[in-house]
Amino acid sequence: MNKKLAVKPGTFSRLLKYILSKYTGTIIIVMICIIFSALSATVATVFMQRLIDECIIPGMTTGMDSVYKKMVSLILTMGFIYVLGVLGNLIYTQLMAVVTQGTLKSLRDDMFFKMETLPIKYFDTHAHGDIMSTYTNDADAIRQLIGQSLPMIFQSTLTIVSIFLMMLFYSVWLTIVVAGVCFLMMTISKKYTGASTKYMIRQQESLAAEEGFIEEMMGGQKVIKVFTHEEESEKKFDEYNEKLFINGEKAHKAGNVLMPILGNVGNLMYVVLAAVGGTLVIMGLPNLSLRGVSPISIGIIVSFLSMSRQLSQTIGQVSMQVSMIAMGIAGASRVFELIDEEPESDDGYVMLVNAYKDENGKIHETEKKTDFWAWKHYHKDSDTTTYQELKGNIEMVDVDFGYVPEKLVLHNVSLYAKPGQKIAFVGATGAGKTTITNLINRFYDIPDGKIRYDGININKIKKPDLRRSLGIVLQEVNLFTGTVMDNIRYGRLDATDEECIEAAKLANADDFITRLPDGYDTMLTGNGSQLSQGQRQLISIARAAVADPPVMILDEATSSIDTRTEELVQRGMDNLMKGRTVFVIAHRLSTVRNSNAIMVLDHGNIIERGTHEDLLAQKGTYYQLYTGAFELE
Amino acid sequence: MIKVLTKSIREYMRSTILTPVYVALEVLLECILPFVMADLIDHMNGTSMEPVVKYGAILLVMAFASLFFGVMSGREAATASCGFAKNLRHDMFYRIQSFSFADVDKFSSSSLVTRMTTDVTNVQNAFMMVIRIAVRTPLMMIFSLIMAFSINAKLALIFAVMIPVVGFALGMVIRTAFPIFRRIFHKYDALNTSVQENVSAVRVVKAFVREGYEQEKFGKASEDVRQEFTLAERVVSLNNPFLTFGIYTSLLLLNWFGANVIISSHGSALSTGELTSLITYGVQIMISLMMFSMVVVMITIASESTERIVEVMQYEPTLVSPENGEMTVADGSIDFEHVSFRYAGNSKKKALSDIDLHIGSGETIGIIGGTGSSKTTLIQLISRLYDVTEGTVKVGGKDVKEYDLKALRDQVAVVLQKNVLFSGTIKDNLRWGKKDATDEEILHVCRLAQADEFVQLFPDKYDTWIEQGGTNVSGGQKQRLCIARALLKKPKVLILDDSTSAVDTKTDALIRRAFAEEIPDTTKIIIAQRVSSVQDADQIIVLDGGRIVEKGTHDELLKEKGIYSELYTSQTGKEA
């Protein structure tokens, strides 16, 4: 949590620059309008004083007629200034709405665009809740900052400066009194906003902790029921809840009392001013002002009093913004942190293209879908382009790999997969099966290229093209919000409905899909939570089938499907993958039995390899795994 | 609806009532203050300090009183709103704990989380608004109006005209903005869902090279949100110029007519001091109007949250423990008597039909069947996680409905298919099974579940911290820990719902052997995909489409040449 609160220096100016880079013109107009809006409020007090001194007081003795003209002109000028003020206000608030939302959109887009380019490692090492909160909480805090706090601070600063300037024109002595009280107000608000911010943060922390607990308990509600653990979880919840209450109460108390305190310090200022002003008048002391030295008048004191009220109100408003600004800047800091992340690097230049062979056996590139792929090499030194047929030959030579350099997960792994072969990996969880597939599609990069695809070092293949050539079905199924059809089509965006249904039939998913209330148009939400684990796996297999890739990786793709259905799925997949390479990871040995080669992995080493029959004959680990259950009898 | 919520105020009723009282007193003083200030100005004559001292003293006393009330109202409001929110969350959490499986399915856990977090925060903010601002602003307006009228009724009429004009404008703003905000919430939700899906499905996105597609999708969604949100903010921003317009118009009118009145009456009908007070009141009235419109917006926004909270609070759990329920389970025998079952949401299709099954205490039963054959449904009826639609389920010779729920579930341990470990140490997690389990007991059950071996390899052994959702242990390890956790209960019936699917066959066999040797008296029900996991069972049941289609021992079923023998052949490659 402390790490999260650290604000990178320069965040605020970076945010300003970010806004200005898109809205320089608009911001200038906004500032001019704010100046009008702020000045109109201040100038009003001057006119009030002039109205009293120049019209009302002489008018009371000389009668209405003598001051009528003056009064009309004063009121008209005032009206004119007010019109400018209202217009300024109208224009700047409208423009700021545009600026705020526009900036937020580009921040969101920048975050998301960057996020999509980040390596898998980023997602494996950052809590998903934290990433989400950057989009929600932090973006909200920035909205507050840009939309409300910034214009308000600007306007308030203007108001405060102009009031002080005007005060100096009236009386230096009284201005000093006001400045003294303002200093006191700042000190007080610093203390309270400090406390408020501190407890606000604590409140946020305990809120986050409680939310985490609620999330965990709601997710595990069925386990709670099974273990009749309700009372314990209630007790634990109350602890979190109490902590949140205590911190929340403190935060709100500090926040809530600031306004009344400042307001009444303002009242105090009023009395002090009246006393000092009154004394000055009575003693007839010379009044020093920017206009020179003159006797102090009641009118001056009256203006001062109303200016002081305005001043204390403005300071109150500013101090209410302090916590908001702090939270906004902290949010911006995290947003920029995400935007600054290093994207996945890709130095590949070999591309995957649709192609066809002419009668001479020469390969030509084409835009059309031909069911024939070729690797397109561009040779820089000779400025020529060559094409090579994609076959699905995968070769790993002496691969060592660790997610962290100190701890190797794979040792010296070598393997060959020829086109059309089915290669299986078996072994305990953590043996490195998934890691191998992570390397083949370059979710993680090996420091030195020892993996070759059709003889090409995979580091030379553009990542998107490499991945397009590999279909992958993962154990953890992720479906997207949308219809079943949309989810299958995710495999190939231009697939027709018929092709999607065909793929579903192949995956043996058509049966249950057509029995869903809306068939293929059934909306899936929350990662397809309305489906069973097995059904979700079937959809994800259909999704990979529609992509129709030359190489397929099935990582525990059928673990939640019963063996009978699995057989049907496999038969379909075998048809689809005829002549193509398939990697299969499974702990269920019936899944891998008909593979061309089975690799038994243990602690990152391939300890056995061969066909099912070979391995059984070896009577090694595979044999033990396979017959384990019987051996014990 | 509101009544349901106010029940949660309880011990914070005092603060809830005191807040508006203090607020009212504070407002009263705030309204009298400009009055006294006007007196001060009017009596300042430049010859004597006496009026300054006199009115200054009054002002100071009032300022301190106002300070006191202001601080107190702020503090009480903090206590009241935080306390209310605390009780509300407490009530919801306790209510949810009484929900049955069916109820949890109905609400979905993610929706329950939103209701307990975001929705409560919305309601808490609205609550604080109501007891502070919703009391403050109308009072402020009324007091200010009274004071204004008492100063000069004719001039105060200006406000009587301005209030409806500005009030109407602000009201229109709310009416226009509210439906837009409603739309925004939905679009915003969609945007967040899209982010969340991309974060958790990043491997799929990358594997299918859909980064560009997702970016385009997101760009559209965020543009949608931008347009709507800009519109909404622009509408709401109109509040500000409307208010400024209201204030300025009042000021101009006041100054003009006020000056006229002062001059023509030679200061007898109105003084300059009184004019400044009128202006102050005018500004206060207009600001109160705007604050009030903001409160209305807040409350309307919170009303949707309120509905969602009330829905949870008023929901009667569909499955409750009987009063004075039977506390002891005689033995581990289980009888299904012509049981049929339907899930509430899927009422057309029977998940189970006419199940008749008798299991003796201490027997081992294997259940096998295809995806969607209702294996899980069947065993969930035993510990009464759902209630049967027809027929009866008996445990220890008695209908499960007669047992106290806790007593029944303590004796019938289920290791769920979708199992969960909670953040905490391994020991913490295991002690879910038995709160005060000793280290020896824990070690014992972990040995039975074949978990001890790998736990010992962790640097912190049984004190190893498990991350939320158990992400730092492998699937097979998680399953074995879940089995150990269930064993700690020393149940009379132990149900494993596909609980060894990620465990290799050898370990799986070791676990089953340990069961047979160490807990022979416990009835064991094992759901599995692997034939090898169930073939030693006393009775094997094959489910298909919610019906028992085959029943018998391994050898009997092989002879039947039905689904079971087919499975056996496909999995082992041996002819039955």
Q: Is residue B353 part of a domain?
A: yes
- For an interface test with A, the pick among B206, B218, B385, B409 (most A C-beta atoms closer than 10 Å) comes out as B206
Would the CB atoms of B197 and A52 count as touching at under 8 Å? Answer: no
Is there a single domain that holds both residue B233 and residue B358? no
Residue of A nearest to B258 (CA): A56
- For an interface test with B, the pick among A22, A26, A101, A191 (most B C-beta atoms closer than 10 Å) comes out as A101
Is there a single domain that holds both residue B263 and residue B360? no
Return the residue matching tokens 């020179």: A292
The answer to whether A94 faces chain B, any CB pair under 8 Å, is yes
Q: Buried (b) or exposed (e) across B420-440, using 16+ Cβ within 10 A? A: bbbbbebbebbbbbbeebeee
Average pLDDT, chain B: 84
Average pLDDT, chain A: 82
Higher pLDDT, B374 or A246: A246
Least confident of A469-473, A557-561, B381-385: A557-561
- For an interface test with B, the pick among A66, A563, A600 (most B C-beta atoms closer than 10 Å) comes out as A563
Q: Is residue B306 part of a domain?
A: yes
The answer to whether A375 faces chain B, any CB pair under 8 Å, is no
Which residues in chain B are contacts of A543 at CB distance < 8 A? 208
Is there a single domain that holds both residue B11 and residue B159? yes
Is there a single domain that holds both residue B363 and residue B305? no
Last residue of one domain, picked from the residues B281, B314, B347: B314
Is there a single domain that holds both residue B258 and residue B370? no
Last residue of one domain, picked from the residues B314, B344, B374: B314
Which residues in chain A are contacts of B249 at CB distance < 8 A? 82
Could you report the per-residue pLDDT of B184-243, keeping only the tens digit for each? 877 877 887 788 788 878 888 888 888 888 888 889 888 988 998 899 889 888 888 888
Which residues in chain A are contacts of B459 at CB distance < 8 A? none
Report the pLDDT value the prediction gives residue A223, as an integer from 0 to 100. 80
- For an interface test with A, the pick among B195, B239, B429 (most A C-beta atoms closer than 10 Å) comes out as B195
Residue in A71, A104, A429 nearest the CB of B474 = A429
Using CA atoms, how far apart are residues B530 and B43, in angstroms rounded to an integer?
Answer: 99
Q: Could you tell me the two tokens for B232?
A: 């909404």
Tell me how close the Cα of A418 comes to any Cα of chain B, in angstroms: 22
Give burial (CB, 10 Å; 0-12/13-18/19+) of A4: middle
Using CA atoms, how far apart are residues B76 and B12, in angstroms rounded to an integer?
Answer: 9
Residue type, A456: I
Q: In terms of Cα–Cα distance, which of A323, A333, A356 is closest to A149?
A: A323
Paired with A425 in beta bridges are A585, A599
Is there a single domain that holds both residue B190 and residue B298? yes
Residue in B49, B256, B432 nearest the CB of A279 = B49
Would the CB atoms of B198 and A116 count as touching at under 8 Å? Answer: yes
Domains and CATH numbers, chain A: 2-339 (1.20.1560.10), 351-389 (no CATH), 391-469+549-633 (3.40.50.300), 478-548 (3.40.50.300)
Residue of B nearest to A266 (CA): B63
Q: Is the pLDDT of residue A631 over 60?
A: no
Residue of A nearest to B238 (CA): A90
Is there a single domain that holds both residue B229 and residue B346? no
- Mean pLDDT throughout B69-81? 91
Residue of A nearest to B371 (CA): A562
Last residue of one domain, picked from the residues B280, B314, B348: B314
Would the CB atoms of B422 and A257 count as touching at under 8 Å? Answer: no
Would the CB atoms of B98 and A230 count as touching at under 8 Å? Answer: yes
The answer to whether A112 faces chain B, any CB pair under 8 Å, is yes
Would the CB atoms of B52 and A278 count as touching at under 8 Å? Answer: yes
Report the pLDDT value the prediction gives residue A371, as an integer from 0 to 100. 73
Evaluated on CA atoms B543, B544, B546, B550, the torsion sign reads negative
For residues A155, A160, A164 and A166, what is the CA-based torsion angle, rounded to 10 degrees? Answer: 40
Tell me how close the Cα of A249 comes to any Cα of chain B, in angstroms: 5
CATH of the domain at B491: 3.40.50.300
Confidence of residue A108 (pLDDT cuts 50, 70, 90): very high
Would the CB atoms of A564 and B563 count as touching at under 8 Å? Answer: yes
Tell me how close the Cα of A382 comes to any Cα of chain B, in angstroms: 30
Is there a single domain that holds both residue B293 and residue B370? no
Report the pLDDT value the prediction gives residue A429, as an integer from 0 to 100. 64
Report the pLDDT value the prediction gives residue A29, as an integer from 0 to 100. 94
Is there a single domain that holds both residue B188 and residue B93? yes
- Mean pLDDT throughout B110-136? 83
Report the pLDDT value the prediction gives residue B22, as an integer from 0 to 100. 92
Q: pTM of the prediction? A: 0.78
Could you report the per-residue pLDDT of A136-147, keeping only the tens digit for each? 778 888 988 998
Element (H, E) at B495: strand B493-497
Report the pLDDT value the prediction gives residue A105, as an integer from 0 to 100. 93
Confidence of residue A448 (pLDDT cuts 50, 70, 90): low
The answer to whether A245 faces chain B, any CB pair under 8 Å, is yes
Would the CB atoms of A211 and B194 count as touching at under 8 Å? Answer: no
Is there a single domain that holds both residue B303 and residue B342? no
Report the pLDDT value the prediction gives residue A633, as an integer from 0 to 100. 25
Could you report the per-residue pLDDT of B324-343, keeping only the tens digit for each? 888 888 888 888 888 888 87
Is there a single domain that holds both residue B306 and residue B346? no
Tell me how close the Cα of B126 comes to any Cα of chain A, in angstroms: 14
Query: ipTM score here?
Result: 0.82
Residue of B nearest to A203 (CA): B82
Q: Is residue B329 part of a domain?
A: no
Would the CB atoms of B70 and A625 count as touching at under 8 Å? Answer: no
Cα dist from B285 to A313, B153, B400, whole Å? 15, 16, 66
Which residues in chain A are contacts of B504 at CB distance < 8 A? 428, 587, 625, 628
Q: Could you tell me the two tokens for A518?
A: 């809306």
Could you report the per-residue pLDDT of B475-532, keeping only the tens digit for each? 778 888 888 888 888 888 999 888 877 777 778 888 888 888 888 888 889 888 778 7
Helix (H, G, I), strand (E, B) or coil at A316: helix
The answer to whether A42 faces chain B, any CB pair under 8 Å, is no
Q: Is the pLDDT of residue A190 over 50?
A: yes
- Chain A residues 391-450 within an 8 A CB cutoff of chain B: 428-430, 441, 443
Report the pLDDT value the prediction gives residue A632, as an integer from 0 to 100. 28
CA A368 remoteness from chain centre: 38
Could you report the per-residue pLDDT of A589-621, keeping only the tens digit for each? 777 777 888 888 887 888 888 888 888 888 777
Q: Is the pLDDT of residue B24 over 70?
A: yes
Tell me how close the Cα of A480 comes to any Cα of chain B, in angstroms: 7
Q: Is residue B327 part of a domain?
A: no
Tell me how close the Cα of A290 comes to any Cα of chain B, in angstroms: 23
CATH of the domain at B120: 1.20.1560.10
Would the CB atoms of A468 and B505 count as touching at under 8 Å? Answer: no
Tell me how close the Cα of A623 comes to any Cα of chain B, in angstroms: 11
Q: Is residue B319 part of a domain?
A: no
Which residues in chain A are contacts of B406 at CB distance < 8 A? 228
Q: What is the residue-wise DSSP string for B66-117?
A: HHHHHHHHHHHHHHHHHHHHHHHHHHHHHHHHT--HHHHHHH-HHHHHHIII
Could you report the per-residue pLDDT of A321-367, keeping only the tens digit for each? 877 788 788 889 889 988 998 888 888 888 888 888 888 878 888 87
CA B546 remoteness from chain centre: 34
Report the pLDDT value the prediction gives residue B87, as an integer from 0 to 100. 92
Residue type, B576: A
- Mean pLDDT throughout B463-470? 78
Q: In terms of Cα–Cα distance, which of B136, B144, B137 is closest to B160?
A: B144
Provide the domain limits for residue B477.
334-572
In chain B, how many domains are there? 2
The size of the A-B interface in CB pairs under 8 A is 430
Higher pLDDT, B42 or B289: B289
Which residues in chain A are contacts of B276 at CB distance < 8 A? 48, 302, 305-306
Would the CB atoms of B233 and A237 count as touching at under 8 Å? Answer: no
Q: Is residue B474 part of a domain?
A: yes
Could you report the per-residue pLDDT of A211-268, keeping only the tens digit for each? 778 877 877 777 887 777 788 888 888 999 999 999 989 988 888 888 888 888 888 8
Which residues in chain A are contacts of B129 at CB distance < 8 A? none
Using CA atoms, how far apart are residues B354 and B338, in angstroms rounded to an integer?
Answer: 4
Q: Is residue B321 part of a domain?
A: no
Q: Is residue B322 part of a domain?
A: no
Residue of B nearest to A78 (CA): B252
Using CA atoms, how far apart are residues A483 and A522, in angstroms rounded to an integer?
Answer: 5
Higher pLDDT, A540 or A627: A540
Phi-psi region of A119 (alpha: psi -120 to 50; beta: other; left: phi over 0): beta
Is there a single domain that holds both residue B346 and residue B307? no
Tell me how close the Cα of B86 comes to any Cα of chain A, in angstroms: 6
Residue in A253, A264, A305 nearest the CB of B67 = A264
- Mean pLDDT throughout A513-537? 79
- For an interface test with B, the pick among A40, A252, A317 (most B C-beta atoms closer than 10 Å) comes out as A252
Which residues in chain A are contacts of B263 at CB distance < 8 A? 55-56, 59-60, 63-64, 67
